[in-house]
Structure 1
Amino acid sequence: MRLNPIALIINIAIPLAFGVAGAFFTSSSVTTWYVTLAKPSFNPPNQIFAPVWTALYILIGISAYRVWQKRDTINRFPRTIAIYFIQLMLNLMWSFIFFYSNQIGVAVFEIVFLLFIAIVNAILFYRIDKIAGLLFIPYILWIIFATVLTYNIFILN
């Protein structure tokens, strides 16, 4: 398959746009409400989150691009893409629930669902393109970390 630079850029821009929207919700309380919370010892410094999420969104976009390239050969492409957008939306919703709404308990349940859907997404992508599925592994590992972190913040507060 030939590289389609415009499609690649669009596929990377989509998850980055979700990330920017999530940052909007996060910015409202990251320097106010969030700093007042008790956090576990393994809580990373705030400046770690933006570069990590940016890298993850780029990997997710590359993964989606690889699947998009094979769209004509996939019987269930619309379902696969629906799952992809559902996991992006759940990712965005976590930022809204946790940071904007300050609902830590609800965020714990939501992120567990996000983790499940991200795993389903990775499996669906893997069935279409092994590399596309494997590109989801860092994202899933980060969601696992974020789940543990969210749960611990909930317990401590």
Structure 2
Amino acid sequence: MAAHWLLAAVHLLAYALALWAVLARASAFRRVTADGGGARSVLLADNVWGVSAIILLLTGVMRAFGGYEKGTDYYLHQPLFHLKMGVFILILLLEIAPMRALIKWRIALGRQAPIDVGSTALFARICHVEALLIVLMVVAATGMARAVAFG
């Protein structure tokens, strides 16, 4: 029982970390200057965002399919689980453009070359949308935990 509790706690704390990281990244994107000043803050927040996403994915898979919670059958037949996974996929799709840009930033900074800061305002807006989607995932997760049913 303690393993179930610990896994659930780590999963929920990872949501909090993810929400903080994506909002910190949005704020950092807004502070990047034309000459690339402030880029390191974006990259730091992005690292935390990535780590939190990995923790969420690993603990989520363990909870849903590893026999730690209600069982695979429950999750596969729970509409809120499908909502949560749909939102997760949407976040992944939204993350493609910022992720590609930040990979280029890391390469450019490693070479001490200038970075392209032309999309920072767009990426900040994407981060805010992702933050809202993370909150929606938490709402869906709490509904699943309470066995909320529709229909």
TM-score normalised by the chain length of structure 1: 0.44
Work out which of the two has the higher radius of gyration on C-alpha atoms and give 1 or 2: 2
